Amino acid sequence: MKIILINPRFSVSFWSMTHALAVLNKDAVVPTAALALLAALTPAGHEVRIIDEAVEPIDANEIAGADIVGLTGMIVQRARMRDIARQVKALGKFLVVGGPWVTVQEDYFQGLADVIFVGEAELTWPQFLREWAAGNHSVRYEQKIRTDMSSLPAPRLDLLKLDRYLQGSLQISRGCPYLCEFCDIIVTFGRQPRSKTADQVIAELDAWHRAGMRAVFLSDDNIIGNRKALLPILARLAEWQREHGYLVSLHTEASLNLADDEALLDMFVAANIRTVFVGIETPNPAALLETQKFQNVGNRAQREQPCRQSAKEYLLERVHKIQRKGIKVTCGLIVGFDADGPDIFASHRRFIEQSGILHVMVSLLSAIPKTPLYERLRRSGRLDLQDPPDFGTNVVPAGMSRAQLTEGFIDLVRATYEPDAYFDRLDDLYIRRRFYDNAEAVRVPNIPRPLRLKYLLISFTFTGLLFARLLRRVNGWPLRFYYAKRLLRFLLSRPYPMRVFDYVMESVCHYHFHRYSQTMARGDKDMLNPL
**Tens digit of pLDDT for each residue in 180-217?**
999 999 889 999 999 999 999 999 999 999 999 999 99
The mean predicted confidence, pLDDT, of the chain is: 94
Give me the mean pLDDT over the 247-255 stretch: 97
Q: Going by DSSP bridges, is the β-strand pair 47-52/273-281 parallel, antiparallel, or unpaired?
A: unpaired
The whole-number pLDDT of residue 299 equals 58
From the CB of residue 445, how many other CB atoms can be counted at a distance below 10 Å?
7
Given a cut of 80, is residue 492 above it in pLDDT?
yes
* Contact criterion met (CB below 8 Å) for 374 and 367: yes
Q: How far apart are CA 385 and CA 378, in angstroms?
A: 10
Confidence of residue 530 (pLDDT cuts 50, 70, 90): low
Confidence of residue 33 (pLDDT cuts 50, 70, 90): confident
Percentage of the chain beyond pLDDT 70 is 96
Give me the mean pLDDT over the 329-349 stretch: 97
pLDDT digits (tens, 9 = 90+) for 384-398: 999 889 889 999 999
The whole-number pLDDT of residue 388 equals 87
Give me the mean pLDDT over the 374-385 stretch: 96
Residue in 387, 425, 391 with CA at minimum distance from that of residue 408? 391
pTM summary value = 0.95
The whole-number pLDDT of residue 323 equals 98
Give me the mean pLDDT over the 88-94 stretch: 97
Q: 492 exposed, middle or buried (CB, 10 Å; 0-12, 13-18, 19+)?
A: exposed
Residue in 342, 313, 520 with CA at minimum distance from that of residue 416? 520
pLDDT digits (tens, 9 = 90+) for 469-479: 999 999 999 99
Specify the 3-state DSSP secondary structure of 94: strand
Domains and CATH numbers, the chain: 2-19+31-142 (3.40.50.280)
Using alpha carbons only, how large is the chain's radius of gyration in Å? 23
Give me the mean pLDDT over the 135-148 stretch: 96
